[in-house]
Amino acid sequence: MSLVVVGSMAFDAIETPFGKSDKIIGGAGTYIAWCASNFTQPIKQISVVGGDFPQEELDALTARGVNLEGVQIKKDEKTFFWSGRYHLDMNSRDTLDTQLNVLENFQPVVPESYQDCEFLMLGNLVPAVQRSVIEQLKNRPKLIVMDTMNFWMEVALDDLLKTLAMVDVLMVNDSEARQLSGEHSLVKAAAKIMAMGPKYLVIKKGEHGALLFHEKQIFFAPALPLEDVFDPTGAGDTFAGGFIGHLARTKDISFDNMKTAIIVGSAMASYCVEKFGTQRLREISDVDIESRLNEFVQLVNFDISVG
Amino acid sequence: MSLVVVGSMAFDAIETPFGKSDKIIGGAGTYIAWCASNFTQPIKQISVVGGDFPQEELDALTARGVNLEGVQIKKDEKTFFWSGRYHLDMNSRDTLDTQLNVLENFQPVVPESYQDCEFLMLGNLVPAVQRSVIEQLKNRPKLIVMDTMNFWMEVALDDLLKTLAMVDVLMVNDSEARQLSGEHSLVKAAAKIMAMGPKYLVIKKGEHGALLFHEKQIFFAPALPLEDVFDPTGAGDTFAGGFIGHLARTKDISFDNMKTAIIVGSAMASYCVEKFGTQRLREISDVDIESRLNEFVQLVNFDISVG
């Protein structure tokens, strides 16, 4: 039984108030794999790259326990490229350039060896591509988690809703939850979105933490207050990778364990933003992760004995 | 030994997307007293009202254990009046009218019977007035908590900084913390503000919760996700009232107990916003408060056992 991850593998060029990156490795699938591989291996990756994607990057993922059988390499095409510039507040950004390249006609093929999929993480991608992976699996995974973004709500809402109806957990940020539901109150938004299919909803609020909704239950996870956010790129994908990685490792999909998974995701995201791209995720050890998880415990731990 | 509260007692007229209030009772001091009286009595109030302030409102506070000896009643003048309209997001508002009236030349006089002050809550008010109360106390209180707002940073920064240097805990919201420090990162902002005097800093983030800083320690308290915020007026004052009320009741000013105090403040603020003005604060019982505190425990409670 295994974790299957679907998501882009890309080149990014990033500008922040702190500096400018070269063309570096990015993509939702990449961040998820680097992050989740701390918790569970193998990870069975589904993606597409061009002939320009560095072999050493593929080798590094393989060494990390990421199975690349489901990653198509289109030798004569170019890898997806995104370039963006963050504003001073690090919450908003302008897209400077998007070159879909290999993503334009991406048709994922699920290898036979991936059919043991128990946990499926659908990284942010064309909703129809996400759905195609679900449909190719002969047995429904124990848990399907879907990340998406406002862009798909604008250009592919019908497809998004169809895919949404097939998943267990949806992850969006607060403005996307409001956009998708038409409700300002996140409590009302969550109720409407869960009525669209997913039994669980994670609302990411960046520096304000994250909320997990399930039926009438709510869990509020903080974000670690940081001195500096160096590069927010991939923080949401890393959060997803920590979330699904913890669940796949523990094989426990109870609400209580999802709460822990959200803390794990938040801890990993707090590392991700400390350096450009996936750099920090490649450096950190189990000891670092434990230490940051303990910071989260300290951050929210209180004693109520009023009355 | 006792809790002394300094703050305005006022008339408010409030418009929200949900409705419009009559001219109702408001003011930072009023909210703080109504809230804190759930936790400790007597409360020794310092404020000023005009001859138009209803006697039954004063009686209601007295019945609640609020000592009004320090509340000046200027029979021939009018009570402070504020009118505002909230935007749809309930986070921003326009001031429609402000009539300072009795507040214009308010010179607080600390009664002799207040000299046993152990806990001093300086509600949002002219910084020089806040300082005058500190200076009139013959013995320094065990804990001085100060609330303030951006307005005073713009029109009375020098006075604000002088007062700030004399207090133990400052409460501001996130944009005020950024304005006061010139730092976007709240971690950096907190370090700069604590260097101005207060050993503790509370940063209120509305629906995103609150942060407590002390030396290198940080505590993150959630806000209760609510279906509707009916009227946010007084939420910050109510938060302050719950915070100081809990500390005065327990007489424990450790960092750990301040964390609990922040949860108490957050719970009380979540009640405050459910109805116009102080209405909800007047209705709730100890059982309601216990029940909401338990919701906070549920909201943030998680188990970490990774590794």
pLDDT of residue A228: 86
Contacts of B301 in chain A (CB under 8 A): 259
Three-state DSSP class for residue A181: helix
Residue whose structure tokens are 């400018």: A20
What residues does B210 pair with on adjacent strands? Answer: B204, B221
Contacts of A307 in chain B (CB under 8 A): 286, 289-290
Average pLDDT over residues A266-291: 96
Residue % of chain A over a pLDDT of 90: 92
pLDDT tens, residue by residue, A95-130: 999 999 999 999 999 999 999 999 999 999 999 999
Query: Per the CB < 8 Å rule, is A259 touching B302?
Result: yes
pLDDT of residue A305: 61
Task: Name the CATH topology of A2-300.
Answer: UDP-N-acetylmuramoyl-L-alanine:D-glutamate ligase (3.40.1190)
Strands (E), chain B: 2-6, 10-16, 19-26, 43-50, 66-74, 80-86, 93-99, 117-122, 143-147, 169-173, 200-204, 210-214, 217-221
Q: In angstroms, what CA-CA distances link B180 with B176, B199, B200, B207? A: 6, 16, 15, 21
- Is the per-residue pLDDT at B252 higher than 50? yes
Average pLDDT over residues A283-307: 88
- Is the per-residue pLDDT at B165 higher than 70? yes
Cα A29 off chain centre by: 8
pLDDT tens, residue by residue, A189-201: 999 999 999 999 9
- What band does B301 get if pLDDT is binned at 50, 70 and 90? confident
Query: Per the CB < 8 Å rule, is B301 touching A259?
Result: yes
- Separation between Cα atoms, residue B307 and residue B287, nearest integer Å: 40
- What band does A306 get if pLDDT is binned at 50, 70 and 90? very low
- Is the per-residue pLDDT at A307 higher than 50? no
pLDDT of residue A46: 98
Using CB atoms, pick whichever of A39, A188, A264 lies closest to residue B227: A188
- Is the per-residue pLDDT at B306 higher than 70? no
Contacts of B263 in chain A (CB under 8 A): 302, 304
Q: Cite the DSSP H helix spans in B7-126.
A: 28-36, 55-63
Q: Is the peptide bond before A198 cis (omega within 30 degrees of 0)?
A: no
- Is the per-residue pLDDT at B119 higher than 70? yes
- Is the per-residue pLDDT at B179 higher than 80? yes
**pTM higher than 0.95:** no
| In contact, B295 and B288? CB cutoff 8 Å | no
pLDDT tens, residue by residue, A3-20: 999 999 999 999 998 889
pLDDT of residue B92: 83
- Is the per-residue pLDDT at A87 higher than 50? yes
Q: Is B13 exposed, middle or buried (CB count within 10 Å of its CB: 0-12, 13-18, 19+)?
A: middle
Closest by alpha carbon to B146, among A25, B156, B137, B165? B165
pLDDT of residue B305: 61
Average pLDDT over residues A232-240: 96
Average pLDDT over residues A147-167: 97
User: What is the interface pTM, i.e. ipTM, of the complex?
Assistant: 0.87
Using CB atoms, pick whichever of A205, A256, A306 lies closest to residue B303: A256
Q: What is the DSSP annotation of A43-91? A: EEEEEEEETTS-HHHHHHHHHTTEEEEEEEEETTS--EEEEEEE-TTSS
Q: B227 CA to chain A: closest CA distance, Å?
A: 5
Q: Which residue of B has its CA nearest to A207?
A: B208
Contacts of A284 in chain B (CB under 8 A): none
Strands (E), B109-168: 117-122, 143-147
Q: Which residue has the higher pLDDT, A89 or A67?
A: A67
Query: Per the CB < 8 Å rule, is A187 touching B260?
Result: no
Three-state DSSP class for residue B279: helix
Structural domain spans, chain B: 2-300
- What band does A302 get if pLDDT is binned at 50, 70 and 90? confident
- Separation between Cα atoms, residue B124 and residue B147, nearest integer Å: 5
Average pLDDT over residues A275-284: 95
pLDDT tens, residue by residue, B24-42: 999 999 999 999 999 999 9
Query: Per the CB < 8 Å rule, is A218 touching B299?
Result: yes
- Is the per-residue pLDDT at A72 higher than 90? yes
